[in-house]
């Protein structure tokens, strides 16, 4: 008797098992169930085993000491099944958890439930395993048995269940299970919260939002529900919806600063900059250490042109650990915009954090380009150490911009081509390359590039417009140009530059009345030199020379650098 008791004691002392997880399954360890860390487990009563069983017990312990957990489990499980001693059965379960074997965990939990039906843990493991196996009805039955034994609050159990189940449960089963729990506990806010949480974790953000919105409209809910909703609105760019749904809570809870901060973010996304600025200011005044809000406030002030106040907040942030880099970066931006290049360099050269380091280097290169020219800028860019393709793309884009501004169009085009080859989302870069190609009059590659963009993005409005206008300018493929431009107008009506393209196409087709209509619409939306040229030419073709002359007389002085416009009347009167 004493030998067995000591063997059990030695087994637990040498192989204590903490909280173990397997695909989202988490159970209480000995320590979580009340044992102090490092304490030795002692059987509550003597265990009478015959010599053969004692030998099996010692063999199992030897296997454990050698790290042969699966073999040890098989030995211990056979003993536990034969003796049905509660302490040994529980011990077998913990060995199963340490084996990371789903089958053994399920098997040992079933044995534990049959031997110690009053224990909550094996029932909790049971419903999680049933969910993992896709057996909804069994999972619900085991959940209800678990809740009858659990000493944890219903709210905590529901939230814990969602956090654990999402890692190993199929989407359909997981959603169905928590939907049933919400029905089972209609007056418990945590049931809706858990259902919304798991929907979000499964990537069904709209469903999660609908669940949580229904919850706050039906039950009094704690702040964490509103906080979760705010995050969903922010992450899914549903700013106005979030502002509408959360307005009442934010108004009634002016000192819930976490929610006030989230609400200010939504205001920024909705372009309510003045309201966001005022809200961030209240947050910062009430919480001087709300550094993220202080940064957001500084950026809003900077956007609003209040450089002095923005700079004061940024100067404060450069004294705070974790905010020095972002503070120096934006102080460098301010100094550069004010022409204080020496001060700008002082700030920018102190930026080391990866989130801002490359951007700071690019601003330094921009300063060198402005002061020393293209060679100095490119040499500086070539010295930047880039650790990933995202950084390399930024550097190559900067080269493309500098080469283009310096008139070195071939080099600009090559820089953009290299950037495109490395970029995961190269659409903007492809447009930059297209502009350079057009300026180079490399029309074959230009046309092919736009066709490639439309192949990948059939409804990309700017590509539809660019290619349609190109064909109109070239006086070829005019039927295709009309299809492209009509589609562009359908997708984005009342865009002045698309109306201009469509009007110019009609002019090239000889449809002057139609051209005049489109061009006058474009002119009413934007006073632009290219629209002016097109409209004057169209009026002239319609024999409306007086109107054409009046347009030229009234507006040509606004665009002194457009030589075609300045010479237009002479050209038409020849």
Write the pLDDT tens digit of every residue in 308-336.
999 999 999 999 999 999 999 999 999 99
Q: Is the pLDDT of residue 34 over 80?
A: no
% pLDDT > 70, the chain: 91
Band of pLDDT at residue 264, cut at 50, 70 and 90: very high
Q: Which of 80, 105, 103 is nearest to 8 (CA)?
A: 80
Give the pLDDT score at 56: 79
Write the pLDDT tens digit of every residue in 494-549.
999 999 999 999 999 999 999 999 999 999 999 999 999 999 999 999 999 999 99
Q: Is the pLDDT of residue 20 over 80?
A: no
Q: Are 207 and 239 in contact (CB under 8 A)?
A: no
Distances (CA, A) of 104 to 16, 53, 276, 333, 501: 18, 21, 55, 61, 71
Where in the chain are the domains?
A: 1-119
Give the pLDDT score at 48: 55
Who has greater pLDDT, 87 or 8? 87
**Two tokens, residue 10:** 């030695």
Q: Is 347 exposed, middle or buried (0-12, 13-18, 19+ CB in 10 A)?
A: buried
Q: Scanning the structure block, which residue is given the tokens 């038409």?
A: 572
32-36, 119-123, 362-366, 509-513 — which is least confidently predicted? 32-36
Q: Scanning the structure block, which residue is given the tokens 């009026």?
A: 539
27-36, 136-145, 422-431 — which is least confidently predicted? 27-36
Give the mean pLDDT of 217-242. 96
Q: Are 53 and 62 in contact (CB under 8 A)?
A: no
Give the mean pLDDT of 270-298. 96
Write the pLDDT tens digit of every residue in 169-226.
999 999 999 999 999 999 999 999 999 999 999 999 999 999 999 999 999 999 999 9
Give the pLDDT score at 27: 37
Give the pLDDT score at 100: 87
Residue 556 DSSP label: G
Give the mean pLDDT of 18-31. 36
Give the pLDDT score at 17: 33
Q: Is the pLDDT of residue 135 over 90?
A: yes
Band of pLDDT at residue 447, cut at 50, 70 and 90: very high
Who has greater pLDDT, 472 or 58? 472
Write the pLDDT tens digit of every residue in 367-411.
999 999 999 999 999 999 999 999 999 999 999 999 999 999 999
Quote the pTM value.
0.75
**Two tokens, residue 287:** 């919480």
Q: Is the pLDDT of residue 469 over 80?
A: yes
Query: Measured in whole angstroms, how far is the alpha carbon of residue 334 from the centre of its chain?
Result: 28
- Average pLDDT along the chain: 90
Give the mean pLDDT of 245-264. 97
Q: From CA 33, how far away is CA 86, in angstroms rounded?
A: 15
Distances (CA, A) of 109 to 80, 170, 515: 12, 21, 79
Give the pLDDT score at 59: 85
Band of pLDDT at residue 65, cut at 50, 70 and 90: confident
Give the mean pLDDT of 462-479. 97
H-helix or E-strand containing 26?
strand 25-26
Give the pLDDT score at 49: 57
Q: Is 43 exposed, middle or buried (0-12, 13-18, 19+ CB in 10 A)?
A: middle
Give the pLDDT score at 63: 87
Q: Radius of gyration of the chain from Cα atoms?
A: 35
- 104-136 in b/e form (b: 16+ CB < 10 A) is bbbbbbebbbebbeebbbbbbbbbbbbbbbeeb
Instruction: Catalogue the long-range contacts made by 436-441 (C-beta closer than 8 Å, 24 or more residues apart).
Output: 436/400, 436/404, 436/409, 436/412, 437/413, 438/470, 439/404, 439/409, 440/409, 440/410, 440/413
């Amino acid at each position: 008797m004493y030998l067995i008791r000591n063997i059990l004691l030695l087994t637990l002392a040498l192989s204590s098992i903490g909280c173990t997880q397997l695909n989202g399954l988490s159970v209480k360890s000995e320590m979580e169930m009340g044992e102090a860390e490092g304490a030795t487990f002692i059987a509550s009563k003597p265990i009478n085993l015959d010599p053969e069983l004692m030998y099996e017990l010692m063999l199992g312990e030897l296997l454990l000491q050698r790290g042969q957990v699966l073999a040890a489990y098989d030995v211990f499980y056979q003993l536990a099944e034969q003796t049905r001693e509660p302490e040994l059965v529980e011990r077998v379960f913990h060995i199963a958890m340490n084996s990371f074997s789903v089958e053994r965990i399920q098997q040992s939990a079933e044995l534990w439930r049959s031997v110690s039906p009053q224990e909550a843990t094996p029932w909790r493991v049971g419903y999680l395993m049933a969910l993992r196996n896709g057996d909804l009805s069994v999972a619900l039955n085991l959940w209800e048995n678990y809740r009858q034994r659990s000493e944890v609050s219903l709210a905590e159990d529901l939230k814990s269940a969602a956090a654990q189940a999402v890692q190993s449960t199929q989407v359909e089963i997981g959603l169905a299970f928590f939907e049933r729990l919400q029905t089972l506990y209609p007056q418990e806010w945590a049931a809706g919260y858990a259902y919304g949480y798991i929907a979000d974790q499964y990537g069904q953000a709209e469903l999660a939002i609908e669940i949580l919105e229904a919850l706050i409209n039906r039950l009094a809910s704690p702040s964490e529900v509103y906080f979760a909703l705010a995050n969903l609105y922010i992450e899914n760019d549903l700013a106005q919806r979030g502002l509408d749904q959360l307005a009442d809570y934010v108004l009634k809870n002016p000192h819930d600063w976490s929610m006030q901060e989230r609400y200010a973010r939504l205001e920024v996304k909705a372009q309510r900059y003045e309201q966001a600025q005022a809200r961030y200011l209240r947050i910062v005044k009430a919480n001087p250490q709300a550094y993220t809000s202080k940064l957001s406030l500084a950026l809003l002030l900077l956007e609003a042109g209040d450089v002095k106040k923005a700079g004061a907040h940024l100067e404060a942030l450069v004294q705070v650990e974790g905010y020095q880099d972002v503070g120096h970066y934006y102080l460098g931006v301010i100094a550069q915009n004010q022409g204080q290049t020496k001060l700008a360099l002082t700030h920018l050269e102190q930026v080391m954090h990866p989130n801002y380091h490359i951007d700071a280097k690019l601003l330094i290169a921009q300063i060198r380009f402005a002061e020393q020219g293209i060679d100095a800028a490119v040499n500086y860019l070539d010295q930047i150490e880039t650790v990933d393709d995202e950084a390399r793309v930024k550097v190559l884009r900067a080269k493309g911009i500098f080469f283009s501004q310096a008139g070195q169009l071939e080099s600009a085009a090559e820089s953009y081509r290299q950037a495109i080859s490395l970029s995961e989302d190269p659409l903007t870069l492809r447009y930059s390359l297209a502009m350079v190609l057009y300026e180079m009059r490399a029309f074959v590659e230009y046309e092919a590039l736009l066709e490639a963009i439309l192949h990948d993005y059939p409804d990309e409005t700017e590509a539809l417009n660019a290619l349609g206008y190109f064909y109109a300018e070239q006086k070829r493929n005019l039927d295709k140009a009309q299809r492209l431009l009509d589609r562009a107008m359908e997708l984005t009506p009342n865009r002045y530059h698309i109306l201009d393209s469509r009007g110019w196409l009609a002019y090239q087709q000889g449809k002057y009345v139609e051209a005049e209509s489109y061009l006058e619409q474009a002119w009413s939306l934007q006073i632009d030199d290219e629209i002016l040229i097109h409209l004057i030419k169209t009026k002239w073709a319609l024999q409306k020379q007086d109107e054409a002359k009046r347009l030229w007389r009234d507006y040509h002085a606004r665009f002194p650098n457009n030589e075609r416009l300045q010479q237009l009347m002479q050209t038409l009167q020849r």
